[in-house]
Each structure stands twice: as structure tokens, then as C-alpha cells.
Structure 1
């Protein structure tokens, strides 16, 4: 049986050990010959890679392992790139969140001005990785789950239209796990879903079990009372801000009680509430740096010092198992049904064909086949058109180096109250992102 070679782009990420553990847990589904780590931050990657080398030696010594900052070494003779990079790391995420808040606007990693700033940093870095893959392993597939996924997906559609890229997001996966828990199922894999939207901007319209029984009424009722908060704390993100997000889904759902929503819609529907409940001095980036970042790097250093992962607190990122499902679908033509971010092309019949939408797809060796979701209601269509226009303008702004288009994108975002506020935020973001963004004209 063929064994696959995988490059993890973002080898210094705090999510990388969980990805490695998840891959090791699924070797019977996806046999692996070698894993390569690639990162542009040698020192950061060194710690994560040092620990992962020990984990691999203990659990699967037959897997070859490489850590490198050299693109030729990283991208030669591989089958898959698994990309989860963070351009500017957490230091820039903190600015993405705090600069808008200074202007009384939601500060969030992927939504509104913060997401736009992050997108402007990410586009070039993701395209560079795609180009490395196509130079050194032209038959490989690029599995992208780098944020902000909506802007990155639009950039790859427009600027690398013939590349073998699959754009995917773990947030719907995490929410589906909470849904399954809420109604007493073991796993989200017991459900089949209908869904449409943009990334971080969508709605579930149908949920069935494998026998075809309708589960949506039960889930809708739970969400209308509790949001996505469940009794199973192990499924929750640990930080208080996440529990607030899951609870707020109740208010988001009230706008369309026939569906259940993606949690990120709260930023667009209740921006005043979000700003009022934000601390401009301590944002989510600070929580992550003090929590996840400190924990993962601490555990990795402990593994390196002890020379063993035997007592490590690192754990499999269960919801990341979709990455194995995606790679298997390509490798073995499994025809797995998965939510992917794909060019619309009629999947939503009354929506612009070139927009990157998030819909269920059947995935096989030739990539995704989107499943038609039909017409969508005016409320969702209007919201999505506005947000899709923001995403397209950001990519055009990056490509044309146009500050005018970036100002338009910020002004068009539902989260930003006026063109003047958009301009003020843009000036601050541009100053903060010197060296990361293209030089805008």
C-alpha cells in the first residue's frame, strides 16, 4: 500500500503537535512515509519539531521526519501540503484585535477590520507556499486551513485558478460536535448536514442521521435555549470567551429560527454588544498567548528535556481529524461528504457564480463536487453579498496595491459604522502592518 509524504506548512504552530498526534492516530486510514515541517521562523519551529521528533520516534519510528526552512527540501517529493500558517504570528493578531477596538469597532481575528488586516498579510504567504508546491511537487494537493479562510480562498481562486487547492475550516466541525453532544450522539459523523454560506458566515438548513431521520428540530430547540453550550465541557474551547460565543448563538439564531447559525455571525449581528463586552487592553490574542501558546511550548520543551513524550499533556486535536478525511478522500477517492470553501458555480442558484461559498461537497480524487443547495432566502443572500464584496475588494486591493479599494472594503463591512471610521482604522492598520502588506498606493 502506498505511503504518503506530507509537508506541514506552519511547523512552528501551536496546532502542529495536535495535527501530528492526529495523523499518528489514523495511520491505518492514511499510511505515512514521511512528515516534513516547514516554517520561516527557524527558532520557533525548532521547539515544536524537537518534541514532535521524539513523539514520532516513540510512536512510529518508521516515519521519516524533516524540519526545514528551505522550500526545495520541504516541498520536493510530497503528496500533500497541510497549511496552517499565521502571518505575523500572535503579535500581529493582537494589533488586529486592539486597533479596531480603539475606534469602537469589533476587534476579531477573522471578521471586520482585523480579518481584513490579517487577510492582507496572509495572501502573499499562502500564494508563495502554493508556488513552492507547484515548483517542487506539481502533482501534490494543497490542503489549506490558514485563516482568514474566506479571503485566502478568494485570493487562490482569483490569483491561482488552476492550482490543486482545497480550502477548509474547522469551525463548522467543532460546532457539529457540539450539536451531536447536545442531542446525545457519539459523534458528528452520525449526522449528514446541509449548509450554505461564506466561511465564518453560514447556516445549517438540514441535519439528518444516517437513516435519514430529521435531527434539525431537536438541535434548533437546543440552540434556541442554550446556544451551542452543552453539558460536555470537554468539547468546549476552555476559555471564557468561547463559552460566551457558544451561548450568544441563541441570539444569532433568533434572526432565522428555521436554521442554526455559524457562531461568527454574532460579530455581524451584534457588534455593539461585542464592543461593549470587550476589554481593549486584553483580547483573545492575549488569552491565547497566555494560555495555549504557553502550554504547548512548555510541554514541547518538557518533552525535549526529558527525552520522552511519556508524561506529556499534549493531546490529539480531535476536530482536526477532518484533515485526514480530506487527504483520504483525495488519495482513495472515498467520495466523503464534507463542507469545503469552493467557487459557487451554481451550488447556490441565486448567488454570484465566482464567489467562494462554503457548502457540502463530495470529495474524490479529482477534488470537490459541490452539492446544489438551491435558492437561498433574501435575508441571507443580502448579508452574504455584502460580505462577499468585502472579501473580493480585499483581494483586489492586495493584487492592485490599492488603498482606495481597501478603504472601500472596510467601509462595506457590516461591522464598521462609517467611511470616516474605516479611514481612521485603515491608517492605523497600515502603519502597524508595514513590512507585511504590499506598499499601497
Structure 2
């Protein structure tokens, strides 16, 4: 069994080691290939990864390489967690839109759009390599925006891809804490898109415990990369579900915009400082355990989500996971080939979507349809390099939709991203 991590210079990567260590009695991993084009960070993180594994008595072969073909060849599972343009590109995604009175964010709005363009451009080469050297491998995509990137893989390549995010598993942990159970024992019912989803039910031993959670007043967790906004009780009543914290950008857009404008540092700038400290820690050869500091970086339960999914695909255990897959009629008001974030039972054959039993409000449906249109157009723009499709996508997005702002913002963001977007060169 070979697992490959593309983007292994990420500060998150050591968490994968911990997920594998926790399952060493369940899965025997023969080789882990750690690949990144940033050789400096790759060596630091790769060596730390090796030390963690050895400290826990695992002698798994660790291959540290910048060669994509070597990393991918004969892999059974491939995790993609790349950040094209590194943290500086993310900071541009967050800062430049604010100049035009637009929300600047890593995965949504115009910043998320350019993140998607850069990421899909890089994924084209990765997809070609997987198709050639590991056509039967399962690809687990964590690269943001996860749902859009997964849609690219499923619509434009032959790669067997499943998208993943840590938001649903973090919500499960919160629900488990409230009702007094291990979150692994919960089966969530999710409806939506990546970073625009709602948990409409949570089953424990066949009983829905979500109402108990909502009555407790808990509004769900807020991810580490944003400030918490208390949801008005009337809005929560209308939603009647636990929303992803990213929905704050839609439900409280003016407040979020002002909040972002008034921050001394963007989240990307904060993460850059955290990563410098983490790399310093990883570089110290005396350190052999994942530090608490990593929680500041975000990505809570990231490794658990990724490695538990690999476990289900490998062991055929049919456990429930919330993942990004093709809709295939599960959400009736979206297209069959739209990638959605829903509950699935996972086996060796892949993901089997669980039929929905709960409804969401008309306003939530409308929002989802608008954002899904934006996502379809985003993939089309990334694949074709067509500037008109760029404008169509951004006009469709509920957080943008103002051409007077879009046109100059696009020009500036194309200029700073052009080295990563060769299709858009004039």
C-alpha cells in the first residue's frame, strides 16, 4: 500500500503521520511518498514526518521527492493539498478585493475564484501524471477551494477523485461534545456545497439528536481562519440546521467586509507567521511530536478526515463520511454532475450517497443554486482561459455581482497571478 502526498511541504502534513499511527493495527502502509516543488520546506517537513513515524515504532518507507512522476507511480491513494503561489498569493486574494469593497477570502468571493484558477491550472499536470502512472489510485483532494477543484477532476479527467474538508468533521466533534458521544459514532446528514453547507440531521443509534443541539443554543464551530459571528436566533430558526461558519460571509456580508477591512493582518499574513514558527519547530531534530501550535494554523481534524477516508476505501468498512462527490440526484434542485458536499457511505468501490430526509429553506436553496452556477463557470474559465467566462462567473457570485468593481479587480488580480495562469496571457 502506497500513499502519496502532493504538497507535502505544508505545515499540516505531520498530522497525516498521526492519523496513520492511530491506525497502524488496521492498515499496513508500505510506502509514503512526500512530494512538493518547494524543496526547502519539503526537506524540513519530510524529515520531521520521518521522526514522528519512527518515534511511534513505524518503519514505513518514506520517500521524499520533488519528482511528481516518482511520487505518483504505483500509488494507491493520493492526497492533494497544494497551495499555488504559496501564502503570498493567498494574501493577495485577501487584500486586493478589499480595495474594491469586495470580501477578500481564501476560498470564496473573488479571492477564492483566483485561488481556484491557480489550483486547477496546476492540477492539470497532476491529473495527467496520475492517469498515466496510477490510473487506479484514489485521489483525495484537500486543495482549496476543495469542491471546485474536485469538480474539475470529476468533469475533466479520468481520475477517481473525492473532495474533502474538515468543516463537517469539526461540526461532528461539536455535536458529539454536546450530546455526550464519540463523534465517530454520529452519522451526519449534510446538504450543500463545500464551504456552503448545512448539517440538517445528526443520527446517533438511529435517533436524530440535532434538535437537542439546536435547543442548547450552540451554533456550531467557527473555523480558525475567521472570527465568530453570533447568528441571530430568528435566522437560526429559519435555517433549522447547523450552517458551515463560511455562511457568515453570505448572511452577514456587510459586517464581514468591515471586519476584514479593519484587521491589522489578513488571515494569510497570520498564517505566514505561524508557519515560520512551525518550520522552526520542525527543523529541530529533537522534536518528535506534532506541536499544539499547529492548532493555531487551522485545519482541525484534517488528518482524521483524510486518513479515516483512506481507511474506509481500503478496508471496505462502509462507514459514513461527508465528502464532495457528484450529485447524481441527491440534491434535487442541482444538476446530476454538480459536485456537492453530502453524506456518503464509503467502501472499496467509492462513495454511495445517502438519500436526504430533511429540507432546507427556499432562501438557502436559492443561494446554493447561485453559488453552484458560479462554481460551474469557474471550472469552465480555468479550463478554457476565457476572460468572458471569468466575468460571467463573478457576476453570478452572490458576494460580487457588481461589474463596476469586478472589472478593475480582475485586471489587477490577473496581473499579480499571471505567472500561474498562462492561459490568460495575451
Calculate the TM-score normalised by the size of structure 1: 0.89
State the partner residue of 1:395.
379
Which shows bigger deviation, 146-155 or 112-121?
146-155
State the partner residue of 1:39.
36
Secondary structure of the corresponding residue to residue 14 of structure 1 = coil
* Residues 1:309 and 2:269 aligned together: no
What is the rounded CA distance, in whole Å, between the counterparts of 2:238 and 2:24 in structure 1? 42
Relative to structure 1, the CA distance from residue 147 to residue 252 in structure 2 (aligned partners, 3 Å threshold; closer, same or farther) is farther
What is the rounded CA distance, in whole Å, between the counterparts of 1:368 and 1:427 in structure 2? 40
State the partner residue of 1:233.
none
Deviations 1:282-307 (A, max 9, x none): 1110111122x1232121111x3x3x
What is the rounded CA distance, in whole Å, between the counterparts of 1:385 and 1:395 in structure 2? 16
The residue correspondences of 1:267-346 to structure 2 (distance < 5 A) are 267-278=249-260, 279=262, 282-291=265-274, 293-302=275-284, 304=285, 306=286, 309=288, 318-346=301-329
For these two proteins, the number of residue pairs brought into alignment is 419
Deviations 1:399-428 (A, max 9, x none): 221111101211221111511111121111
How far did residue 39 of structure 1 move? 0.6
What is the rounded CA distance, in whole Å, between the counterparts of 1:411 and 1:311 in structure 2? 43
What is the aligned counterpart of 1:370 among 353, 357, 371? 353
Relative to structure 1, the CA distance from residue 349 to residue 125 in structure 2 (aligned partners, 3 Å threshold; closer, same or farther) is same
What is the rounded CA distance, in whole Å, between the counterparts of 2:213 and 2:399 in structure 1? 28
What is the rounded CA distance, in whole Å, between the counterparts of 1:341 and 1:327 in structure 2? 14
What is the rounded CA distance, in whole Å, between the counterparts of 1:42 and 1:310 in structure 2? 22
State the partner residue of 1:216.
210
How far did residue 213 of structure 1 move? 2.6
What is the rounded CA distance, in whole Å, between the counterparts of 1:310 and 1:381 in structure 2? 44
* Residues 1:108 and 2:87 aligned together: no
How far did residue 263 of structure 1 move? 0.8
State the partner residue of 1:201.
196
Q: Is the 8 A contact 2:239 2:360 kept in 1?
A: no
Q: Is the 8 A contact 2:313 2:348 kept in 1?
A: yes
State the partner residue of 1:349.
332
Q: Is the 8 A contact 1:22 1:318 kept in 2?
A: no
What is the rounded CA distance, in whole Å, between the counterparts of 1:362 and 1:163 in structure 2? 20
Deviations 1:42-90 (A, max 9, x none): 1121111122222223323421111001122211222111111111111
State the partner residue of 1:232.
none
What is the aligned counterpart of 2:230 among 216, 237, 248? 248
What is the rounded CA distance, in whole Å, between the counterparts of 2:403 and 2:201 in structure 1? 38
What is the rounded CA distance, in whole Å, between the counterparts of 1:22 and 1:315 in structure 2? 15
Q: Is the 8 A contact 1:17 1:314 kept in 2?
A: no
Secondary structure of the corresponding residue to residue 30 of structure 2 = strand
What is the rounded CA distance, in whole Å, between the counterparts of 2:14 and 2:51 in structure 1? 11
What is the aligned counterpart of 1:379 among 355, 363, 374? 363
What is the aligned counterpart of 2:242 among 248, 260, 263? 260
Provide structure 1 residue ranges, at least 5 long, that are not aligned to the other structure.
230-235
Provide structure 2 residue ranges, at least 5 long, that are not aligned to the other structure.
none
Secondary structure of the corresponding residue to residue 81 of structure 1 = strand
* Residues 1:423 and 2:399 aligned together: no
State the partner residue of 1:227.
219
Q: Is the 8 A contact 1:299 1:314 kept in 2?
A: no
Secondary structure of the corresponding residue to residue 165 of structure 1 = strand
Relative to structure 1, the CA distance from residue 75 to residue 282 in structure 2 (aligned partners, 3 Å threshold; closer, same or farther) is same
Secondary structure of the corresponding residue to residue 429 of structure 1 = helix
RMSD between aligned residues? 2.2
